Amino acid sequence: MTIEDPEFGSVNRYYNGTVGDYWLAWTNKSVSAVHFGYFGDGARSHSEALIATSRRIADLAAISEGSLVVDAGCGLGGSSLWLASERQARVVGLNVNFRQMVLARQSAAERGLSRRARFVIGDYTAMPLRTASVDAVIAIESVVHAPDKAAFYREAARVLKPGGRLAMAEYMLPDRWPDELDTSTNAEWLRGWAIPGLDSGVSHLAHAAAAGLDDVAVMDVTEYVEPSLYLLHNLTFAGLPAHNLLSVLGLRTEVQRENLMSSRLQYRALQAGGWFYAHLRARKPGP
């Protein structure tokens, strides 16, 4: 997938149309995260869980002071800014969405982190980076938007230095589809979030291995993320009356309606066994 690919049209429509909802219901200036929260490592609140996601991915990628990191599909820049602030890493945030990139740059400037966290328009399957130039690549709930997820792994392997690490948070299909489950269970919520499809855990392992990465592991962390998934599900019920009223007044869009319904359906699909939430780690062979 490249910047010119029409697939980016649906991704950009989704994020342009829902950025206000994210700010209203999910994130804030101090966290600026559009991903789910990890209720492990002592996290008890929503904000703490959002930060815990960034911390766990950073640990999986062995990110420390001075590490050069690519945040592939960086959203509003929350994880990039956390890495720059808390790990003193140097971060390049890649994003195909211009509006999110501008907001991420503003957040970096407000926090005095612009020298350590740069945000650029870029496709994570064709990164504007030299081969073997970075210490770590992270991708938090972003590779789901790629039709060809193997292409991301190949590109991550290319830009990583020998010994560099990849860490991801990703929605994945079960390795065995439940016999009683209709495949349409996933289709509606994925469409509403501009996700062309999910790959299984086994497929992700194969993609990483085919790209030449080793020490690859997929970890099912659904139990730690489910409270965050359930929170989003419940927020849809709280927000539906206001959405319906504003829709009558012409102040809500179809993209926003689909996002609202998908936020509800994702949890139903999870409960039905249609997907799970995973963390993945991998390493490029070398010293």
pLDDT at 7: 54
| 5 pLDDT more than 70 | no
pLDDT digits (tens, 9 = 90+) for 185-208: 788 899 999 999 999 999 999 999
Domain assignment present for 236:
no
Quick check: is 204 in a domain? yes
Q: What is the pLDDT of residue 3?
A: 43
SS3 at position 69? strand
Q: Please, what is the average pLDDT of the chain? A: 92
pLDDT tens figures, 87-115: 999 999 999 999 999 999 999 999 999 99
- Of 57, 58, 59, whose CA–CA distance to 277 is shortest? 57
8 Å CB contact between 156 and 133:
no
**pLDDT recorded at residue 17:** 92
Residue 269 domain-assigned (yes or no): no
pLDDT of residue 211 exceeding 60, the answer is yes
Torsion, Cα of 20, 23, 25, 31 (10° steps): 160
Residue 160 lies in a domain: yes
4 compared with 49, residue with greater pLDDT: 49
Provide the number of structural domains found in the chain: 1
Asked if 96 and 118 count as a contact pair (C-beta separation under 8 A), the reply is: no
Query: Given a cut of 80, is residue 279 above it in pLDDT?
Result: yes
Model confidence at 233: pLDDT above 90:
yes
Q: Mean pLDDT throughout 225-252?
A: 86
Q: Is residue 262 part of a domain?
A: no
Residue 58 included in any domain: yes
Q: Is the pLDDT of residue 269 over 80?
A: yes
What gap in Å lies between CA 233 and CA 192, rounded to an integer?
14
* Pairing label, strands 160-172, 117-121: unpaired
- pLDDT tens-digit series, residues 44-79: 999 999 999 999 999 999 999 999 999 999 999 999
Does the pLDDT of residue 6 top 70, yes or no? Answer: no
pLDDT at 59: 98
pLDDT given at position 224: 98
CATH number of the structural domain spanning residue 160? 3.40.50.150
- Parent domain of 55: 7-19+27-176+196-222+274-283
